[in-house]
Copies of this chain bind each other. A is one copy, B any other.
């Protein structure tokens, strides 16, 4: 089971022409077990000093470029990362779903089931990507009160 998962991550790396390093596998493992998008500072806390800050930064950058993860900016402008759905690839890398940023716990949820509706943008403007962030109080924080 764990073996399977690991194999899966390794394949993912190889498929994207990346070497299977401990650091990369660890990042994939952590991200895949999170139910919300994850910031680099969070990853640094979990990982500790095993992986250098710059290395982590580059891993995330590489993963994003390859379409392995996507990046969401929360309300504070901090980058958060989540593993992409299978449909993403290096050159077709859209996460058309909505994100929810909790103002209390600061978590960023991927609301996969909520798509961004089509919009009428003034002509002359060429749309490449859309990013919708909803902020408020998340389910867990609501229930906690």
A residues with a Cβ closer than 8 A to B are 73, 75, 77-79, 98, 100, 103, 111, 113-114, 116-117, 119-122, 124-139, 142-143
Contacts and interface: CB of A to CB of B under 8 A. Distances in A.
Contacts of A73: 73, 75, 77
B132 A136 contact: no
Contact of A121 (B114, B116, B121): B114
Contact of A139 (B103, B120, B122, B128): B122
Contacts of A98: 119, 121
Contacts of A126: 136-137, 142
Contacts of A79: 77
A129 B121 contact: no
A128 B114 contact: no
Nearest to A138: B125
Contacts of A142: 124-126
A114 B125 CA distance: 13
A134 B114 contact: no
Contact of A125 (B78, B131, B132, B137): B137
